[in-house]
Structure 1
Amino acid sequence: MAKSKQSSDTRLDPVAMGQAMIQQIEEAGLGSMRWMGTAWFEVMADMNSEVVSFVADRIREDVKTQHALLHCKTAADMQRAQVAFLEKAYTQYTEETGKLIKMGMDMLPDASTTTKNTPV
């Protein structure tokens, strides 16, 4: 009975691929990525949650606007519904961008204490 031959090729091993990628990034000059730690993953999870909540809010607004458009009786009513939708979308996207930028900046280590481990 023939033994199965296991390949040591890193292209077939996702863990080895990830390790090789991180090593290449570190060698490219970004330094050790240990600074990320569990706090980084927690912030990334919070950011993902924020994005999902934002998308859900926007979908609710889309449905609400669609409902309003279906009940318009005049062109002026339709125009008001469209303008209200665009104004709300602009406000929500602007606020969400600010939130995500702040969350991203909070994720980085404090550069005032030392710049040795700051990735950017």
Structure 2
Amino acid sequence: MANKSETQTSTKDAAPFGALAQLQEAGFGNMVGMSTAWMEAMGEMGAEVAGFIAERIKEDVKTQHKMLHCKNVGELQHIQGEFIQKAIDQYQAETGKLVEMSTKAFAPEANGEKKKS
């Protein structure tokens, strides 16, 4: 009877590793060997997104302040137009940064691998 419970415990403990092995077989490669550099890059990307969101919230607050103090509809439309244009520009720039950061993070050199010639 002791053997049966030991087998069940070891099977349960091995379950995460079994799932990882299945992912590797499915083509996800050696996920256990992800480098520290890759994990740091993912952290930097997360920090970049958080910083971007904070800046956008500041822009939202500034725009609301301007809108509350505008004198006429023309001025309100101008404020809204500026806000939209700045948001578009900032989102485009941020997307470019994140694409560049992710390209570096997923590059073979960043993960400790060498490029194949």
Q: So what's the TM-score if we normalise by structure 2?
A: 0.78
| Length, aligned pairs only | 106
Hey, which of these two has a bigger chunk of helix by percent? Answer: 2
Matches within 5 A, 1:85-96: 85-96=83-94
| Deviation string, structure 1 residues 1-45 (Cα, Å, up to 9, x no partner) | xxxx9x8474xx7x954x444322111122212552111110011
Matches within 5 A, 1:43-82: 43-82=41-80
Larger RCO: 1 or 2 (CA < 8 Å, sep 6+): 2
* 1:113 shift after superposition: 1.7
- Partners of 1:93 and 1:99 lie apart in 2 by 10
Q: So what's the TM-score if we normalise by structure 1?
A: 0.76
Give the fraction of aligned pairs with identical amino acids, expressed as a percent. 43
The equivalent residue for 1:118 is none
Gaps of 5+ in 2: none
Task: Return structure 1 stretches of 4+ with deviation > 3 angstroms.
Answer: 7-10
1:102 paired residue among 97, 100, 103: 100
Q: CA RMSD in A?
A: 2.5
